[in-house]
Amino acid sequence: MKTMNYQKTGRILGMLFLLIFIVGAGGLSQRGLSTSLVADPDFLDLVREQAFAMKISIFADVLASAIGIIIAVFLYPLLKKHYGGIAIAYLALWVLQSAVAFIGDISHLSLISLSQEYTTTSAMDNGYYSTFGSMLVEDYFWSHFLSLIIYAAGAWLLYFVLLKVKLVPQWLALWGMLAVTIVFTVTWLQIFDQSVSFSFYLQNGVFMISFIIWLLIKGFKNPIEPAVDH
């Protein structure tokens, strides 16, 4: 059996994470949706005006989800070599996260279509269209929150394996586990209508940049203990 090159594997993972980070951040900047958007009585006009940028964002989101699945497939042999159950769970969570993200993207596409229909309606129907549009915005955000929760759960499993097998320094793996635990917790708080600061999400971005830089420079270390299937 061919011996795994852990350093090369880590560097490839760093490049894949860098790609998903760039694509995801770029798409998010063009999304144009916010919970305050629907407060404007003419928000469907705003959606129509930003339709092209929103479609670019949706394309970027789909691409980021596809890269996420590629990452999970790429990591499967490494994770299976040490923790077979976690390897399956990590892959399944990425597929589930992508499916939930796709549902949110479909809601956003439906919102864009609705905004285009809105221009041809009579004033009497405006309230109906606005209400339906508000529901589609809510659909997107519920999907977004659920995808964040699933992402955090999968990432925690990855950092747990990195910690146990010592593929990266312990402080880096522990930082990652803490960062996504915060994301997991504050997302649930938002689901229960609690206001939270964006900095709770930003801290995970700071970690990801640091993690990516480490992987690109150092890659993974060789495991300290022999690999054992579980």
> Is-contact 90 75, C-beta < 8 A?
yes
Q: What is the pLDDT of residue 225?
A: 53
Residue 229 has pLDDT above 50, yes or no: no
Task: Please state, rounded to an integer, the average pLDDT across all residues of the chain.
Answer: 90
pLDDT of res. 223:
80
Lowest mean pLDDT among 43-52, 69-78, 156-165: 43-52
CB neighbourhood size of 119 (10 A): 10
Residues of the domain holding 71: 6-154
Percent of the chain with pLDDT strictly greater than 70:
93
Residue 41 maps to a domain: yes
Asked if residue 228 belongs to a domain, the reply is no
Q: Is residue 63 assigned to a domain? A: yes
Give pLDDT tens digits for 140-169: 999 999 999 999 999 999 999 999 999 999
Q: How many domains does the chain have?
A: 1
Q: Is the pLDDT of residue 124 over 80?
A: no
The mean-pLDDT minimum among 34-38, 98-102, 140-144 falls in: 34-38
The pLDDT value given to residue 113: 92
Q: How far is CA 146 from the centre of its chain?
A: 10
Q: pLDDT tens digit string along 175-226?
A: 999 999 999 999 999 999 898 899 999 999 999 999 999 999 999 998 865 4
Is residue 146 situated within a structural domain? yes
Residue 224 lies in a domain: no
Q: Is residue 135 included in any domain, yes or no? A: yes
DSSP state of 34: -
Instruction: Measure the CA–CA gap between 88 and 93, rounded to whole angstroms.
Output: 9
In this structure, is residue 54 part of a structural domain? yes
Q: Quick check: is 130 in a domain?
A: yes
Those residues with Cβ within 8 angstroms of residue 222's Cβ, 6 or more apart along the chain or in another chain: 6, 7
